[in-house]
Amino acid sequence: MSDLLVSPEVFHNQPCLRLRHPGGDTVLVALHGAHVLSWTSGGVERLYLSPQAVFDGQAAIRGGVPVCFPQFNMRGPLPKHGFARTTAWTANPDGSLDLHSSPTTLALWPHAFSARLHIVLEPGVLQLVFSVHNTGDQPLDFALALHTYLQVQSLPTLLLHGLQGQPYWDDVAQTQRQQTGPVGFDAETDRVYQAAAHPLELVDGLQRLQIAQSPNLPNTVVWNPGSTKCASIADMPADGYQHMLCVEAGQVDTPITVAAGAAWTGWQRLSVV
């Protein structure tokens, strides 16, 4: 947006951009991975960033919004969640960030492309818009997840509404299920839902957050590691699971295909209710 103030900033020795809205909301995004690290709205931090996250310009950063592209998790031959989240992006004056194919990416994934993460910041709203342009002469297939870590106050009473009736793959139980009622969190949760046709609502005490995604992202991933798994994650504190919930917009079950010369755009939108 033209009324955003965009300025360079250094955070944990990493180059970043700070986006400020005249209304007071701010976003901090690292050039490493085009990784959104912070979104404050109404003076409240809305994203979870692990206090043990690694900022070495090489490893993925734990928390915020990692961009998982062009692979989700270990579902393919690339490093986990692809290479976008561990690659340096280029900053633009409007606060968007670009990633282009290079000898390094081509050695991993033989496709010419350009990608952009555009950040829309409005009062009480953060929208992340991810686009891919196929600059090669063959179709390219990719998976995508905007791996959003939301900061929560009370995991035991947290409820995610809007997925009632939706089928999902339960990666903990290794079975296909259907959601009944709102999603609660009393154990490890790792699910890939068929996305709902309407926005979700996360109810966290007195705070409410609406979560929407573009219709061309047909999966919603919901993840919380629970106590046992969290204790084994090196870049999270043992109690970190109590303060975060991932609600991700993505396409992970089947690839997105972009024809030669064509482009694709998808988004996730978070709104304080």
Task: Give the active site residue among 118, 147, 161, 188.
Answer: 147
- In sign, the C-alpha dihedral spanning 207, 229, 239, 145 is negative
Is 45 a residue of the active site?
A: no
Q: Choose among 250, 227, 252: nearest CA to 240.
A: 227
Contacts of 37 (CB under 8 A, 6+ apart): 11, 16, 28, 29, 30, 47, 49, 61, 63, 64
Running DSSP on this structure, what letter comes out for residue 79?
Answer: S
Give CA–CA dist 165/178, Å, rounded.
Answer: 6
Let me know: does 242 contact 178? Beta carbons within 8 Å. Answer: no
Cis? peptide before 123, omega within 30° of 0: no
DSSP result, 169-214: EETTTTEEEE--SSB--SS-EEEEEEPPSS-EEEEETTEEEEEEE-
How many Cα neighbours within 13 Å face the side chain of 259? 1
DSSP H helical ranges for the chain: 103-108, 226-231
Is 147 a residue of the active site?
A: yes
Q: Choose among 225, 272, 267: nearest CA to 248.
A: 267
Residues with catalytic roles = 147, 248
